[in-house]
Structure formats: structure tokens, C-alpha cells
Chain A
Amino acid sequence: MGVRLWAALMAGVVLVTGLWLFQGLSGNTGFVLSLRAGKLAALALVAASVAMATVLFQTVAQNRILTPSIMGFDALYLLVQSLALATLGISGFAALPAGPKFLLETALMTGLAAVLFGTLLGRARGADIGRTILSGVILGILFRAGSVLVMRVLDPNANAVVQSVSFANFSRPSVETLLYAAALALPAMALALWLGPRLDVLALGRDRALSLGLPHRAMVLGTLALVAVLTATATALVGPIAFFGLIVAGLAQSFAPGAPHRQLLLLSVGLALIGLIGGQWAFERLLGLKATLSVVLDCGGGLLFLMLLMRGKIR
């Protein structure tokens, strides 16, 4: 991959960051800047988490059109949320401090993801893509239906609380969980980058990874745990984002086909930063919040997903 691509990527990231922080700055600059910086940090963490989670998941799944959200990872997060609400009640749920709540939910979700997807993706025989996709989609529907069921049982007030966390909202990222999310997500990202060469071997498939001496099962479970932590981070901060990861991972693949994982991860993170910060800037400042970024992202990503499926090029 060329130096020019990296330079363009860096320039893009610097540009959107600068625009976000300094465009139209007036009045109490100190206050506005700190407000903007908080949101910027949240958006950047979401972008990087989604991008890395998608690339990692595609490597484990041996498939370039699957994403954690298609396989129901964020639906699982919502289910955990609504179950917590159902058991604790609305006051108990609201009284939970944001940080410990996030850590607990992430731990629960990581465990569930490892059990469910670990058995699905780490098998010796029949690691066939069709069954994996189908099971993932069905699991996703199960989790969504589960949380809808819990919401129906709850009273309307509690329902409203769940609703508020069920849709992606880039305008009001939950800044109070930011520190805890960063404390989990940043080490997870560092670990993913450190594992880069092993991920390259993992991408060769189970048989080859085993013949080359990679502890395949541990690697699959570990990578799924990283995916769970990163998805939980993004979902806790802004809510479920369906197709954004697919867009950035797909773009990174087409910019640098055959690149090793370290490059692929960094490239998709860069693209995600530009897309999410730049997009949110445009929608907030240029369009005056008349449309929402999540809708455009889901629509564009959905079209891309269909196109990839129909061209059948990316397996």
C-alpha cells in the first residue's frame, strides 16, 4: 500500500478533526471547545471500535460481507439492557452508575458471544458459510425479538427508556460512559494490532492455521471476545449501527487488497474516523440536524451490502 494513501488518510482525519473542533467557533470558546472535544472523543472511539470489530469479525467468520451487527452482536447488547431493566425496574436501572453498568453489560455480552459464536465458528467440520450466516441472522432476530418481548411486558415508562438506547444517536453520545468505554476499548484495540500477524494466519482458515501451529480455538474465542468488547463500546456510546462497519471494512479491503491485518485495521479505523466525524459535522453544522446520519449510513450501507451480495465477488 502506497505512502500517498496513508498521507491522504492522515490529511483527511486531521481535516475532519479540525473542522469539528474549530469551525464556527464563537462566544465562550473554552466551554464550546471542551463540549466539542468530549463529543469528538466519543465519536472517534465509536468509529474506531466499529471498524476494528468488523475487520476482526470478518477474519474469524472467513467472510467479507458479515459484520457483528448482521450477526446480532448489538441486538445481544440491547437484550442485555432490557433484561437488566426488567429485573431491576426503572428506578433501579436509572440508579445504576453508568460506569459499572457498562462494565457489567460488556462482561455479560462477551461471555454470551463467546459461547454462542465460539461454538458456531470454531468447528472442525461444516464451517460452512451458509450455515454460519443463517444461524447468525436467526440469532440476531432471536435477540431482537427477545428484547421486544421484554419491552412489551414492561410498563410504558420503562419502554421509553429502552427505546432511547435502541436507536443510534450520534448527536448525543453518552459521554459519562466514555471513560469506562475507552478504558476497555483502547487496550482491546492495542491487543488487536499486536495480534495482527496471528490474525493474518487465522484468515487462512482453520486447517492451515492449525498446520502452521496457531492455537486456532483460543485465537477464535479471543478474537470474538475483542469483537464483543468493541461492539459493546460502540453500542453503549451511540446505540446500534447496522452497516457502518461494513462500509469502512469493504472500502479498506478495496483500497489495499491482500494487506496484512495491521494495515487493514489502521486503514479501516482512518476511514471510519473520516466518515463518522465528517458526516456528523456535515449533518450538525451544514444541514442543521434536518436529517440524521444514522439513517443515511444505514441506507448507504444497506445498498452496498446488497451490491456486494449481488456481485458475489466478496465471499
Chain B
Amino acid sequence: MIEVTDLSFTVGGAQILAPTTLTLPAGQITALIGPNGAGKSTLSRLIARVETPPPGTVRVNGRDVATTPGGLLARELAFLGQHTGLASRLRVRDLVAFGRWPHCHGRPGPADHAAIARALAEFELEPLAQRFLDTLSGGQAQRAHLAMAAAQETPWLILDEPLNNLDLAHARGLMVHLARLRDAGGSVLIVLHDLNFAAAWADHVVAMKAGAVVATGRPEAVLTGPLLSALYDTEIEVTVHGGRPLVLHHLAPA
């Protein structure tokens, strides 16, 4: 469980995140949705402690991220941000192997090699394992970064817009992977722009707007026409498909 208490964030006088108190359930896929500039990335970065600690506290499985040693937290949660550019030239396998750093500190054992192989297989990277990252397409590179986060094999996985650059097959493949992690007891926080991925795969949805959480709950409770229309300031129709909401955001209102 992740408990966020009175967390706020201000940059240069602009409040990115209003004081927020929030609980993210363990063992579920939580989708974070909202328009541009809603504070989704900031919230996920604060939880993953890559943003300097502001006022407020974040507890991951009971541990305060501001005071817990980084090495310990790195075995509790893995984070993949939006900006994945690398300064160094790396092969795909070497990048994925870095996911094992919190466990082996640069000296991988058999368990680590097995985890690396699993992650490479999971994201269909075996044919690309020896390629340099800068020779890959955007989507292939994104899969390599996802595999690195997956190889960390932490109870919590926090992904900021991981569907960027992924084609539809690999986007669905990622959600299948996350659902499998959830079924094995893992917990996921995922920032999503495509509402239908949230509708189809999430167990819990958190909607944000202008730095504040405006709604939380089951997908069918949050992903409703009136709520989404107000959230995005544009009229959005929602129907039902296979027992789950289907958001018709791409259609102009009749």
C-alpha cells in the first residue's frame, strides 16, 4: 500500500501539486488519469522519490521514502519516467541488467541472470539483446526500458506514460504483463493518457486536474460521461463494452 499524506509541490511559485492525501491499494493496477498539466507525472515522481522531498510524506509499504535508505526502497519499487534518454552508449542486455543493481550491486548471480533473461523474453527483446540502444526505434527502446524496470522485480512498479511509442500489439502486451504481475501479488501505478486502457485493465482509477485529485474509485465509478467531460473540459461519451466502460473520446458529440 502507498500512503500519500499532505503532499504538495511548488516550482518557481507555481503550485504543481496541491496538498494531497491519497491511498493506493496494494495488489491492484491503479491508473492515474487527467489532462495535461494535472500533476500526474509529478505525483508519480514524488512517490518514486526521484523528485526532491517536498512538504508531506509518502509511505511505500509502511516505509517513509524520504528517510528510508535508497537501496532498500529500490527493492520495494521500480520507476520508469517519461524521459528515457541516455548519455552513454549501452547494449539492450546491459541496460536490462542494470535493473538487477539493487539486488546484486554489479555482481549478478544465477538468480539475476535468470531475471534478466525473463525480462528480455517478456518484452520480446531477445533478438535485440546485443544491439546498441541508439540503433533502436523509439518503441523498441521503450520496451528495453520497460524490461529494465521489470527486471528489478519489485512489489511496486510505477510507470509514467509507458505506452509512449509502443505499437498496439506491444501496448496490449504490456497491460497483459502488468495484469500477470498483479495476479502474482504485485502492485502497479501507471500514468495513462488512453482512457480505454484504464477502463479495460485498471482495478482502481485516480483522476487528477490542476494539481488536485478530483475522483478515485473503480473504473466504472470514475470513467463516466459527466465526470470525464468535467475532467477534460470537453464533452465525452462513455458506453459499455464487455461489462467495462468504453470511452468514445475520439468522436465529436452528436
Chain A residues near B (Cβ < 8 Å):
59, 62-64, 124-125, 196-198, 200-201, 203-208, 210-215, 253, 257-258, 315
Nearest residue (CB) in A for B104 is A197
- Secondary structure dominating the interface of A: loop
Contact A214:B86 (CB < 8 A) given known A125-B11, A207-B50, A257-B132: no
Contact of A211 among B69, B72, B74, B107 (CB under 8 A): B74
Chain B residues closer than 8 Å to A214, beta-carbon distance: 70, 101
Please tell me the number of chain B residues within 8 Å of chain A, measured between CB atoms.
Answer: 37
Contact of B48 among A62, A211, A257, A258 (CB under 8 A): A211
Question: What is the distance, in angstroms, from A191's C-beta to the closest C-beta of chain B?
Answer: 16
> B123 contacts the other chain (Cβ, under 8 Å)?
no
> B90 contacts the other chain (Cβ, under 8 Å)?
yes
Contact A212:B87 (CB < 8 A) given known A200-B106, A206-B50: no
Task: Verify B87–A203 contact, CB threshold 8 A.
Answer: yes
Task: Verify A213–B70 contact, CB threshold 8 A.
Answer: yes
Q: B21-78: which residues lie under 8 A (CB-CB) from chain A?
A: 45, 48-52, 69-75, 77-78
Q: Give bound CA distance, A196 to B48, whole Å.
A: 25
Chain B residues near A (Cβ < 8 Å):
11, 45, 48-52, 69-75, 77-81, 83, 85-91, 94, 98-99, 101-102, 105-107, 132, 152
Contact A210:B87 (CB < 8 A) given known A197-B105, A197-B106, A257-B132: no
Q: Can you give 24 A-B contacts (C-beta < 8 A)? A: A63-B87, A124-B50, A197-B101, A201-B101, A201-B106, A203-B87, A204-B86, A207-B81, A207-B83, A211-B50, A211-B74, A212-B99, A212-B101, A212-B102, A213-B70, A213-B73, A213-B75, A214-B70, A214-B101, A253-B89, A257-B89, A257-B132, A258-B89, A258-B132
Task: Verify B98–A208 contact, CB threshold 8 A.
Answer: yes
Q: Give bound CA distance, A263 to B42, whole Å.
A: 37
Task: Verify A258–B91 contact, CB threshold 8 A.
Answer: yes
Task: Verify B98–A204 contact, CB threshold 8 A.
Answer: yes
Chain B residues closer than 8 Å to A196, beta-carbon distance: 106
Contact of A210 among B50, B72, B98 (CB under 8 A): B50
Question: What is the distance, in angstroms, from A253's C-beta to the closest C-beta of chain B?
Answer: 8
Q: Give bound CA distance, A206 to B75, whole Å.
A: 18
Q: Give bound CA distance, A206 to B71, whole Å.
A: 15
Nearest residue (CB) in B for A124 is B52
Chain B residues closer than 8 Å to A253, beta-carbon distance: 89
Task: Verify A213–B72 contact, CB threshold 8 A.
Answer: yes
Chain B residues closer than 8 Å to A63, beta-carbon distance: 87
Chain B residues closer than 8 Å to A257, beta-carbon distance: 89, 132
Q: Give bound CA distance, A214 to B74, whole Å.
A: 9
Q: Besides the contacts A124-B50, A196-B106, A212-B99, what 12 more A-B pairs have beta carbons closer than 8 Å? A: A62-B87, A197-B107, A203-B87, A204-B86, A204-B98, A205-B85, A207-B45, A207-B50, A210-B49, A211-B80, A212-B152, A213-B75
